[in-house]
């Protein structure tokens, strides 16, 4: 379960920006009506954590903002953080760390990118932070809160002479041998998680598992439509579970009128020798096949199959998302999606949000964090004010991220309409003569 994420000096994000999934007590307090309280119970995770016993956590959070305001960069930052954590253990000493700082001032281009994340996994609350430039990890610290008090497991820093200094603890001793094996561009968390035999692995294993299995990030919507989707591999049985396969079939049936099921068609590649025909010295290419996703449609004369590649972008989007939604729901993971509503009907997007708020999942902790454009999700009771976050550009050109609740909208105020009117910011400010050149090209007469 994700509690809080913050990032500083990444792409359009200059100053530290924080996304919190801690629910505001205002919307479900003692003065709330029975319906409001019931709605709030649906939207929140009620977990009593040591040190945070009176807090609840949001099941879904949406990030809205004008094009270019940086909402997608919040998701990209999460993905960049996860890639470094998952991959740095395999970095060679000369490998560069992916580094994309704020580019509009000289100081930022010479400063580290900083990440902080608070999360719950395996029954333990953690806080993990690190900063880096292109060549080295500047700072790293992992803390746990087993009884509500901070317990620093280790701290790692880089000296002015570029020497790596690691301070372990009584809870997680870091030997001189491990410290000497740690390259400047490798996170200690990644290194220990990649070496289960080392002392210290057991103490960090749950934290490492969160970034491996508890955080699912889809940060490029266009990539979900191009290659054979992960949902196809799940449906084919290569990966995933029976629960995920059942959910894929159910979602694709419910989202598109007329679709009865989806299946994978395997075909041998042209020129391939089958296993039965291969000679003694021939290469066995029996597993070299192409796989196609076919959707069975109901028709007047019984129906037929259509290749997923020939379906609408909305159908492709639902199919591609379905396996990740199933994985998050099954394993209580946090699913982060850039442009959830891309090419999707707003009612369908709302249904996906509400999948994470079903009554039968009340004792579970799956979450959905997403960027969106459609204000329909702000309507009715789908998202409360603290579940809606907005991005704007600050005076320095950097992204500013803040919750809609900062504007203290009145009870019953039409949030979607107010958002479109610019009452809460987060929308583009366009001139009346948008797209009209002040001086026509070529010196000719202007249009109209």
Q: Secondary structure of 187-229 in the HEC alphabet?
A: CHHHHHHCCCCCCCHHHHHHHHHHHHHHEEEECCHHHHHCCCC
User: Based on the domain organization, do 181 and 240 belong to the same domain?
Assistant: no
Measuring CA to CA, which residue among 125, 119, 99 is closest to residue 111?
99
Does residue 247 lie in a domain region? yes
User: Based on the domain organization, do 375 and 297 belong to the same domain?
Assistant: no
Does residue 115 register a pLDDT over 70? Answer: yes
pLDDT (average), residues 321-349: 94
Residue 349 pLDDT level (bands cut at 50, 70, 90)? very high
User: Based on the domain organization, do 363 and 322 belong to the same domain?
Assistant: no
**Full residue range of the structural domain in which residue 304 is found:** 236-271+284-331
Does residue 419 lie in a domain region? yes
Does residue 426 register a pLDDT over 70? Answer: no
The pLDDT, as a whole number, for residue 374 is: 86
User: Based on the domain organization, do 62 and 136 belong to the same domain?
Assistant: yes
| More reliable by pLDDT, 114 or 384 | 114
State pLDDT tens for residues 141-180.
Answer: 999 999 899 999 999 998 877 888 999 999 999 999 899 9
Structurally, the chain folds into a number of domains equal to 2
Question: Which of 3-17, 300-314, 382-396 is predicted most confidently?
Answer: 3-17
Does residue 384 register a pLDDT over 80? Answer: yes
The pLDDT, as a whole number, for residue 128 is: 98
Does residue 387 lie in a domain region? yes
Does residue 276 lie in a domain region? no
The pLDDT, as a whole number, for residue 416 is: 74
How does DSSP classify residue 102?
-
User: Based on the domain organization, do 120 and 189 belong to the same domain?
Assistant: yes
Least confident of 140-154, 254-268, 282-296: 282-296
Residue given tokens 């996304």 in the structure block = 19
Q: Which residues make Cβ contacts (< 8 Å) with residue 5, sequence separation at least 6?
A: 18, 19, 78, 115, 116, 117, 118
Question: What is the percentage of the chain residues whose pLDDT exceeds 70?
Answer: 89
User: Based on the domain organization, do 185 and 247 belong to the same domain?
Assistant: no
Does residue 275 register a pLDDT over 50? Answer: no
Does residue 434 lie in a domain region? no
Are 369 and 336 in contact by the 8 Å Cβ rule? The answer is yes
Are 385 and 27 in contact by the 8 Å Cβ rule? The answer is yes
Does residue 436 lie in a domain region? no
Per-chain mean pLDDT for the chain: 89
Question: Which of 97-106, 309-318, 336-345 is predicted most confidently?
Answer: 97-106
Least confident of 41-55, 74-88, 112-126, 200-214: 41-55
The pLDDT, as a whole number, for residue 360 is: 87
Cα(90)–Cα(76) distance, integer angstroms: 21
Give the end-to-end CA distance of the chain in Å, rounded to a whole number.
57
Burial code of 311-336, b = ≥16 C-beta within 10 A, e = fewer? beebbbbbbbbbbbbbbbbbebbbbb
| More reliable by pLDDT, 34 or 116 | 116
How does DSSP classify residue 289?
E
Measuring CA to CA, which residue among 214, 218, 144 is closest to residue 1?
214
The pLDDT, as a whole number, for residue 442 is: 55
| More reliable by pLDDT, 444 or 432 | 432
User: Based on the domain organization, do 290 and 404 belong to the same domain?
Assistant: no
User: Based on the domain organization, do 153 and 294 belong to the same domain?
Assistant: no
**428-437 long-range CB contacts below 8 Å, 24 or more apart?**
428/66, 428/67, 429/66
Does residue 211 lie in a domain region? yes
Measuring CA to CA, which residue among 190, 185, 189, 111 is closest to residue 155?
189
For the full predicted model, state whether its pTM sits above 0.85. Answer: yes
The pLDDT, as a whole number, for residue 278 is: 44
The encoded tokens of residue 108 equal 């930022």
Are 36 and 25 in contact by the 8 Å Cβ rule? The answer is no
Pairing verdict, β 113-121 and 60-65: unpaired
User: Based on the domain organization, do 360 and 318 belong to the same domain?
Assistant: no
Cα-flanking dihedrals φ and ψ of residue 54, to 5°?
A: -105, 15
User: Based on the domain organization, do 151 and 249 belong to the same domain?
Assistant: no
Least confident of 13-17, 200-204, 420-424: 420-424
Measuring CA to CA, which residue among 391, 336, 415 is closest to residue 61?
336
Does residue 127 register a pLDDT over 80? Answer: yes
The pLDDT, as a whole number, for residue 405 is: 86
Are 2 and 12 in contact by the 8 Å Cβ rule? The answer is no
Are 378 and 341 in contact by the 8 Å Cβ rule? The answer is no
User: Based on the domain organization, do 404 and 363 belong to the same domain?
Assistant: yes
CA dihedral sign, ordered 416, 421, 422, 426: positive
Cα(79)–Cα(27) distance, integer angstroms: 31
Residue given tokens 């292109």 in the structure block = 134
The encoded tokens of residue 72 equal 């997608």
Least confident of 25-29, 72-76, 131-135: 25-29
The pLDDT, as a whole number, for residue 273 is: 55
Is residue 97 packed enough to be buried (19+ CB in 10 Å), middle (13-18) or exposed (0-12)? buried
Measuring CA to CA, which residue among 324, 317, 338 is closest to residue 255?
317
Q: What is the CATH number of the domain that holds 180?
A: 3.40.50
The pLDDT, as a whole number, for residue 305 is: 95
Does residue 109 lie in a domain region? yes
User: Based on the domain organization, do 181 and 303 belong to the same domain?
Assistant: no
Is residue 124 packed enough to be buried (19+ CB in 10 Å), middle (13-18) or exposed (0-12)? middle
């Amino acid at each position: 379960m994700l509690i809080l994420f913050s990032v500083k000096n990444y792409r359009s994000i200059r100053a530290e920006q924080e996304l919190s999934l801690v629910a505001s007590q205002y919307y479900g307090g003692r003065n709330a009506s029975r319906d409001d309280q019931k709605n709030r119970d649906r939207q929140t995770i009620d977990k009593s954590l040591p040190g945070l016993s009176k807090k609840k956590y949001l099941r879904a959070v949406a990030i809205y903002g004008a094009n270019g305001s940086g909402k997608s960069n919040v998701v990209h930052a999460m993905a960049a953080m996860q890639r470094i954590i998952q991959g740095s253990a395999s970095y060679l000493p000369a490998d560069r760390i992916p580094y994309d700082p704020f580019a509009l001032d000289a100081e930022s281009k010479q400063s580290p990118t900083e990440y902080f994340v608070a999360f719950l996994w395996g029954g333990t609350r953690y806080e993990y932070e690190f900063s880096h430039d292109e060549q080295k990890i500047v700072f790293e610290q992992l803390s746990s809160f087993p009884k509500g008090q901070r317990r620093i497991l280790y701290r790692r820093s880089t000296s002015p002479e570029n020497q790596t200094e690691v301070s372990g603890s009584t809870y997680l001793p870091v030997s001189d041998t491990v410290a000497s094996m740690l390259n400047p561009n490798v996170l200690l968390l990644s290194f220990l998680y990649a070496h289960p035999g080392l002392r210290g692995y057991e103490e960090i294993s749950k934290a490492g598992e969160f970034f491996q299995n508890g955080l699912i990030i889809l940060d490029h919507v266009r990539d979900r439509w191009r290659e054979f989707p992960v949902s196809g591999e799940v449906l084919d049985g290569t990966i995933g579970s029976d629960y995920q396969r059942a959910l894929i079939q159910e979602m694709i049936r419910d989202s598109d009128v007329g679709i009865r099921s989806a299946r994978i068609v395997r075909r041998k590649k042209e020129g391939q020798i089958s296993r039965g025909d291969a000679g003694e010295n021939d290469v066995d290419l029996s597993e070299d096949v192409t796989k196609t996703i076919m959707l069975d449609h109901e028709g007047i004369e019984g129906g037929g199959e259509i290749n997923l590649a020939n379906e609408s972008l909305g159908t492709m989007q639902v199919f591609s998302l379905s396996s990740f939604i199933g994985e998050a729901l099954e394993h209580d993971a946090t699913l982060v999606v850039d442009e959830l509503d891309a090419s999707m009907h707003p009612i369908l997007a709302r249904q996906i949000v509400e999948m994470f708020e079903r009554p039968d999942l009340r004792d579970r902790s799956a979450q959905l964090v997403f960027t969106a454009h459609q204000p329909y999700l702000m309507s009715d009771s789908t998202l409360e004010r603290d579940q809606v976050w907005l991005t704007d550009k600050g005076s320095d050109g950097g992204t500013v991220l803040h919750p809609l609740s900062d504007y203290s909208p009145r009870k019953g105020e039409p949030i979607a309409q107010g958002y479109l009117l610019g009452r809460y910011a987060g929308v583009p400010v366009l001139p009346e003569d948008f797209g009209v050149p002040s001086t026509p090209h070529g010196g000719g007469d202007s249009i109209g």
